C-alpha cells in the first residue's frame, strides 16, 4: 500500500452507513415439525424485516448452511430476505424458513459461481469489463462497456459461453468504465476534484477521513477549496488491486470531524459501518451531482479499469459523475456502506457505479468510524432479535425513501434525531 498525504475537512464531512451482512443476528429456534413432517405455519412464513436485520440474518444463515448456501438478497417491496439454497437440500431449506427467511431453490452453488468468476479473471481480464455474482438470478452478471469491441468482445463472449448454460449473463453498457475523479463535500489536489467519504478516527486517535484510493494519485496535500491551502494529507492509499480507498489525515489534530453526511443544507448522522446487501436501497452523496439513490446489484465485484483491476467492490445502479469519486454511500438509517469508485454512464442516462466497502477500508487502514463507530456491524444487533418484525415505515429517519431520480435530489431528506 502506498503512502501519501491528503486534505482535512472542517467540521462537516460525512460518513455513510450500511447494513452488515456479517452482523450478529439472533436466529429463531428451528421450527417444530408437524406430524406429517411439514414445518408449522408460523415458522414457514417469511418475516417482515428491515434491510439491516435482513443482512444480519443472511450472514448467519450463510455460516449455518455451508455449501448449500447460494447467496441472498433483500426484497425491498415485501421487506423479506430471500435465501438461495442449492436444489435438493431440503433440510437446509427448512432451517432458512425456521429463521424467518424465504427460500428459493437454485442450481448454481456459490462454489460454482466463484469458480466461474475465477475463469473470467484468468481468461477475460479486459479493460472495460466487470463481473459480480447476482443472487437474484443465481448467475454471474458480466458487463462490458462501449470500448469492448472486436477481438476483445469475441474473447469475452467466448469465455462467458465456456462457463456453460445458466452460469452467466453478458450485457453491454453504453458508457465507459472510469474512475470518477474530476474531482459529500468537494476536496481538491493537483487540479483534481474528488469527494470526501466519511470522517473517521485514525488508529492513533487523530481525525481523518476516507475517500477513493485513486484520488490519492492526484497529490499528497488536499484542500477543501479550489486552489486553497491544504488541510489534510494522504496517509495510506490503495488503487488498483484489492480495493480503492485512501485514509487522509487532517493536518490540524484539533479538527472537528463529525460522523455525518452533508446532503445539502441538512446532515444525516452516521451510526456505524456495515456490509451491503443485494436489493438494499442506498443513497450516494457526491460533490458533483449531490444526492442520488438506487439499489445494490452485486457484491464482491471485479472491475477492470484502464488503470488496472480492482476487486471486492459493491455494484449498484446509483448514478455518479466525475468529481463524485470517494463520496459516501449510505442508508437512510445512518449506516455507512461504501466509497464511490467508478463506473459508466452519468446521472442523465444512468449506468453502473461501483463502490469500495467501508468495512474493508476501515479494517485495512486501522481506523474507526466517527467516534469509534467502526466496530463490526454485528455490534449494533446485540440485544436485538434480527427476526423482529418491522412494519417498514417506523424507525427509518434521515433520508426518506425516494423513487424520483430527477433534479431535486434533496427533497426527500429530513434531519435525523
pLDDT in tens, 75-85: 989 999 999 99
**Distance between CA 45 and CA 194 in Å, rounded?**
46
pLDDT at 34 over 70: no
Confidence bin at 363 (pLDDT 50/70/90): very high
**Distance between CA 192 and CA 333 in Å, rounded?**
32
Q: Does domain 41-106 have CATH number 3.30.420?
A: no
Q: Tell me the Ramachandran region of residue 383: left when phi exceeds 0, alpha when psi lies from -120 to 50, beta otherwise.
A: left
Catalytic residue among 173, 325, 328, 344: 325
Q: Please give the average per-residue pLDDT across 257-261, as a whole number.
A: 92
* pLDDT score for 137: 96
Catalytic residue at 151? Answer: no
Q: Are β-strands 353-357 and 335-343 bridged in parallel, bridged antiparallel, or unpaired? A: antiparallel
User: Which of residues 136 and 412 earns the better pLDDT score?
Assistant: 136
User: Which of residues 327 and 378 earns the better pLDDT score?
Assistant: 327
CATH topology match: 1-16+113-375 vs 41-106: no
SS percent in the chain: helix, strand, coil, step 5: 20, 35, 50
* pLDDT score for 16: 32
* pLDDT score for 43: 52
As a residue count, the chain comes to 417
Confidence bin at 175 (pLDDT 50/70/90): confident
* pLDDT score for 374: 43
* pLDDT score for 373: 42
Residue for cell digits 442508508? 331
From start to end of 76-138, where are the E strands?
80-86, 102-106, 129-134
Catalytic residue at 204? Answer: no
* pLDDT score for 191: 82
CB proximity list for 45: less than 8 A, separation 6 or greater: none
Distances (CA, A) of 385 to 25, 267, 354, 355: 7, 29, 32, 29
Catalytic residue among 53, 224, 244, 293: 244
Q: What is the 3-state secondary structure (H, E, C) of 262-306?
A: ECCCCEEECCEECCCCCCCEEEEEECCCEEEEEEEEEEEEEEEEC
- Judged by average pLDDT, the poorest of 135-149, 300-314, 375-389 is 375-389
Confidence bin at 370 (pLDDT 50/70/90): low
User: Which of residues 349 and 359 earns the better pLDDT score?
Assistant: 359
* pLDDT score for 44: 61
- Judged by average pLDDT, the poorest of 47-51, 83-87, 156-160 is 47-51
Confidence bin at 52 (pLDDT 50/70/90): confident
Residue 341 CA from chain centroid, whole number: 11
pLDDT at 384 over 50: no
Buried b / exposed e across 120-140, counting CB within 10 Å, b at 16+?
Answer: beeebebbbbbbbbbbbebbb
User: Which of residues 389 and 197 earns the better pLDDT score?
Assistant: 197
Confidence bin at 179 (pLDDT 50/70/90): confident
User: Which of residues 31 and 308 earns the better pLDDT score?
Assistant: 308
Q: Does domain 1-16+113-375 have CATH number 1.10.1740.10?
A: no
- Three cell numbers, residue 121: 479473471
pLDDT at 192 over 70: yes
A 10 A CB-CB count for 175 gives 17
Q: Please give the average per-residue pLDDT across 67-88, as a whole number.
A: 95
- Judged by average pLDDT, the poorest of 175-184, 195-204, 329-338, 389-398 is 389-398
Average pLDDT over all residues of the chain:
81
Domain regions of the chain by residue span: 1-16+113-375, 41-106
* pLDDT score for 345: 85
Catalytic residue at 67? Answer: no
Q: Are 353 and 364 in contact (CB under 8 A)?
A: no
Look up the pTM and report it: 0.77
A 10 A CB-CB count for 406 gives 9
Q: Which helix (H) or strand (E) holds 160?
A: helix 150-162
Confidence bin at 413 (pLDDT 50/70/90): very low
* pLDDT score for 377: 37
Catalytic residue among 214, 223, 259, 333: 214
Q: Are β-strands 80-86 and 102-106 bridged in parallel, bridged antiparallel, or unpaired? A: parallel
* pLDDT score for 26: 24
Q: Which helix (H) or strand (E) holds 329?
A: strand 328-330
Q: What are the two backbone dihedrals, phi and then psi, of residue 44, each rounded to the nearest 5 degrees? A: -80, -25
Amino acid at each position: 500500500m502506498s503512502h501519501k498525504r491528503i486534505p482535512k475537512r472542517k467540521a462537516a464531512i460525512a460518513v455513510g452507513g450500511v447494513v452488515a451482512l456479517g452482523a450478529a443476528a439472533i436466529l429463531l429456534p428451528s421450527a417444530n415439525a408437524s406430524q406429517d413432517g411439514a414445518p408449522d405455519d408460523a415458522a414457514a412464513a417469511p418475516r417482515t424485516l428491515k434491510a439491516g436485520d435482513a443482512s444480519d440474518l443472511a450472514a448467519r444463515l450463510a455460516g449455518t448452511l455451508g455449501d448449500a448456501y447460494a447467496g441472498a438478497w433483500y426484497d425491498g417491496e415485501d421487506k423479506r430476505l430471500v435465501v438461495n439454497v442449492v436444489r435438493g437440500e431440503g433440510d437446509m431449506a427448512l432451517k432458512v424458513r425456521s429463521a424467518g427467511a424465504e427460500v428459493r431453490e437454485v442450481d448454481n452453488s456459490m462454489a460454482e459461481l466463484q469458480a466461474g468468476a475465477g475463469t473470467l479473471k484468468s481468461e477475460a481480464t479486459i479493460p472495460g469489463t466487470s463481473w459480480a455474482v447476482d443472487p437474484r438470478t443465481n448467475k454471474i452478471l458480466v458487463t462490458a462497456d462501449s470500448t469492448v469491441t472486436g477481438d476483445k468482445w469475441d474473447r469475452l463472449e467466448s469465455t462467458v459461453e465456456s462457463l456453460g448454460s445458466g452460469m452467466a449473463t453478458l450485457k453491454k453498457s453504453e458508457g465507459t468504465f472510469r474512475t470518477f475523479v474530476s474531482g459529500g463535500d468537494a476536496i481538491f489536489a493537483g487540479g483534481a476534484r474528488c469527494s470526501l467519504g466519511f470522517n473517521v478516527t485514525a488508529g492513533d486517535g487523530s481525525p481523518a477521513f476516507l475517500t477513493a484510493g485513486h484520488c490519492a494519485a492526484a497529490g499528497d496535500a488536499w484542500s477543501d477549496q479550489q486552489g486553497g491551502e491544504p488541510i489534510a494529507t494522504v496517509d495510506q492509499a490503495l488503487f488498483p488491486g484489492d480495493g480503492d480507498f485512501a485514509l487522509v489525515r487532517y493536518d490540524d489534530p484539533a479538527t472537528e470531524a463529525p460522523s455525518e453526511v452533508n446532503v445539502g443544507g441538512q446532515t444525516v448522522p452516521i451510526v456505524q459501518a456495515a456490509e451491503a446487501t443485494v436489493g438494499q436501497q442506498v443513497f450516494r452523496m457526491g460533490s458533483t451531482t449531490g444526492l442520488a439513490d438506487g439499489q445494490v446489484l452485486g457484491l464482491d465485484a471485479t472491475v477492470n479499469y484502464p488503470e488496472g483491476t480492482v476487486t471486492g467492490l459493491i455494484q449498484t445502479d446509483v448514478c455518479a459523475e466525475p468529481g463524485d469519486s470517494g463520496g459516501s454511500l449510505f442508508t437512510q438509517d445512518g449506516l455507512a456502506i461504501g466509497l464511490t469508485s467508478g463506473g459508466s454512464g452519468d446521472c442523465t442516462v444512468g449506468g453502473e457505479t461501483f463502490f469500495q466497502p467501508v468495512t474493508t477500508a476501515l479494517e485495512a487502514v486501522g481506523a474507526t468510524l466517527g467516534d469509534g463507530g467502526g466496530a463490526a456491524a454485528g455490534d449494533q444487533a446485540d440485544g436485538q432479535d434480527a427476526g423482529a418484525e418491522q412494519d417498514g415505515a417506523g424507525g427509518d429517519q434521515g433520508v426518506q425513501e425516494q423513487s424520483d431520480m430527477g433534479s431535486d435530489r434533496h427533497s426527500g431528506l429530513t434531519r435525523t434525531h
